[in-house]
Amino acid sequence: MDVIDVIVKIITWPPLWQLVVLGLVAPLGVVVGILWFERKTAARVQRRFGPLHVSPRIGGAIQLIADLMRYAFQEIIIPKTVDKGVFLIAPLTALVLSIVPVVAVPFTSVSHYWPIPMEYSVLISLALSTISAIFIVLAGWASNNKFSIIGGMREAYMITAYELMIILAILSVSAMTTSYNFVDVVLAQTGGKWFIILNPLAFLAAFISVLMATSGFPFEIPESENEVVAGPFTEYSGLLYGVNMGAAYIKRFVYSIFITLAFLGGWLPYGPGDGFISGYLIPSLVIIVKATILMAVFSFLRAVYGRYRLDQALDFAWKLLFPLALMGFGLGLLEAYIGLIG
Amino acid sequence: MVPPKPVPKTKPRRGIFHAFKGNLEALMIGVKYFIDPKRFTLIYPKEYNKLREGYRGFIVLIKQKCINCASCARICPAAAMKMIRIPEVDEKTGKQKVKNWPVIDYRRCIFCGYCVDVCPTEALYHVPYHDVVYQNMAEMYLDLESFQKPPEYKAAEEGIPVRYIVDEERGLVKVPYKEGEK
Ligand code: SF4
Ligand code: SF4
């Protein structure tokens, strides 16, 4: 009994729980499902079947396991011309850094289960989430391959396009609640006053800029397959490539969690109670389910959209998205001023 | 005559709302297809496309009708039809003689159907399928014996026949093949 108690205690220790279970295990599970969903949806909309022959009864769901196994057992080839240290470190650091923001957000209103104090969680989590992109540029640079460098530079350009918009859009909830605390933000949405309804402009801006940040479909520019092979990840193979892709999806998942907390009511309508299950497990599950639905919407776009050129994306970001984010911010301020938010 | 004046193409002015509407429409179409997918993928080994009569598929020779005129070999644009010399005994006189017979080389054939059209005695005909498998290139150069038999159609033994029809509403539609249909 004692051993199990200790293990449970370790696992449910908030920083570890959020970093490992919510930051790594949950996204991996979600990503496998979402990848399958993405392929099936794109196929469905484009009048195909998608993965099917592996297991026709369940719509080819095992295909993803097969793909994962292929990545896991493939030989990792490190080309002679790359900068070995950076080449190896960049994807791993990107992976770790894309998980880290998870510790800076609350998954419950019970302060006992916060990994860190939450007074400035909106700012801290946003700041942490912006670091990992630089390592994608670094990966492209270290690969010493023209496709990788072009891909890395495109990523660098895209950073200039999305970073400010994400921060502006998500910070507009701080403007609405006059608080940098995600807990306050979520609690202000009690009673169905989700900020997606009160401030759809900011939500739209956040949604599109997250799409840009994670190379989601109309903005899948750094890795666009038919122009630059796999962009920054061209030289990567086997598990390292898997890590790169995993980092991208985890990043999208983490951003989905931010949007869930900021606009989709976080753990609401559930009210966290006492104890681990009611106070921590169920709220985190609610958030993960909402984030997963958001991920599904992101992947649905793949079926509909083509790909913008880099200049079109930058144009779009600064001419349309930036004003949209500002309008969202202004709307938030206005609503706070007239006392719409309790 | 006055040449027509070049008219510069004017793009209609497109505002932000136009773009928004366009995006929304694209998304709605996506959702529509997501709810009601109009798939027409041929799940190949399990189904096969039952082609219509008159399809220019593989070619078979009816030796009894052939008059050894070599028209087919002469018209063939890809030099796939060739005449080969086969010695045989004349039934009436009992003398040895050599006759020319057409054989086909599927490594070269482009399935244009000229040989079938040109044959004066209709000694050649198409079978309505083309998915035939050969184990190596040499096998694709048929001899006189195998040119007289329709090639083996494996897909028909294992799969179910389907047909594609063009529907006004749904576009290309896959329907099960009914026996006796042309
Ligand atoms: S179908 Fe055309 S290419 Fe083929 S053998 Fe006949 S004439 Fe030649
Ligand atoms: S054209 Fe017809 S009749 Fe003449 S050689 Fe060819 S198959 Fe025989």
Provide the residue range defining the domain that includes B118.
59-152
Q: Rounded to whole angstroms, how far apart are CA atoms A326 and A319? A: 11
CB A183 within 8 A of CB A271: no
Query: Do residues B80 and B105 touch, judged by C-beta distance below 8 A?
Result: yes
Distance CA A79, CA A99 (A): 28
What is the helix (H) or strand (E) element at residue B81, kind and residue range?
strand B81-89
How do the residues of chain B divide into helix, strand and coil, expressed in percent and rounded to 5?
Answer: 25, 25, 50
Considering every ligand atom, which ligand is closest to the CA of B122?
Answer: 2
Residues of B within 8 A of A300 (CB-CB) are 30, 34
CATH at B146: 3.30.70.3270
Contact A314, A308 (CB under 8 A): no
Please report which confidence band the pLDDT of residue B119 belongs to, taking 50, 70 and 90 as the band edges.
Answer: very high
On whether residue B35 sits in a domain, the answer given is: no
pLDDT tens track for B100-109: 999 999 999 9
Q: With pLDDT > 90 as the criterion, what percentage of chain B qualifies?
A: 29
- Res B13: pLDDT: 67
pLDDT of residue A320: 86
In ligand 1, the atom with minimum distance to the C-alpha of B118 is 7
The structural domains of chain A, with segments of one domain joined by +, span 2-337
Residue B35: Cβ-neighbour burial (10 angstroms; 0-12, 13-18, 19+):
exposed
Question: How many CB contacts within 8 angstroms connect chain A with chain B?
Answer: 32
Say if the Cβ atoms of B26 and A300 lie within 8 Å. Answer: no
Q: Is residue B28 part of a domain?
A: no
- Cβ(B106)–Cβ(B134) below 8 Å: yes
pTM: 0.79
Domain membership flag for residue B47: no
Mutation site for A-interface testing, chosen from B18, B27, B47, B173 by largest number of A Cβ within 10 Å:
B27
Structure tokens at B49: 């496309």
B96 belongs to a structural domain: yes
Token pair for B80: 């796939």
- First-to-last alpha carbon distance for chain A, in angstroms, is 47
Q: Which of B34, B35, B36, B40 is best to mutate for the A interface (most A CBs within 10 A)?
A: B34
Contact indicator for A218, A307 with CB cutoff of 8 Å: yes
Instruction: Per residue of chain A (342 residues), give pLDDT as tens.
Output: 688 888 887 777 777 777 777 777 888 888 888 888 888 888 888 888 888 877 778 877 888 888 888 888 888 888 888 888 888 888 888 888 888 888 888 888 877 778 888 888 888 888 888 888 888 888 888 888 888 888 888 888 888 888 888 898 888 888 888 888 888 888 888 877 888 888 888 999 999 999 888 887 788 888 877 888 887 888 888 888 888 888 888 888 889 989 998 888 888 787 777 777 777 788 888 888 999 999 999 888 888 888 888 888 888 888 888 999 999 999 888 888 887 776
pLDDT at B110: 93
> Is residue B110 one of the residues assigned to a domain?
yes
Is B18 exposed, middle or buried (CB count within 10 Å of its CB: 0-12, 13-18, 19+)? exposed
Q: Among B80, B27, B127, B56, which Cα is nearest to A41's?
A: B27
Percent composition of chain A: helix, strand, coil (DSSP 3-state, to 5) = 75, 0, 25
> Is residue B144 assigned to a domain?
yes
Whole-number Å distance, alpha carbon B77 to ligand 1 midpoint, is 7
Nearest CA in chain A to B171: A47
Contacts of A41 in chain B (CB under 8 A): 34
For chain B, what is the mean pLDDT? 86
Total tally of structural domains belonging to chain B: 1
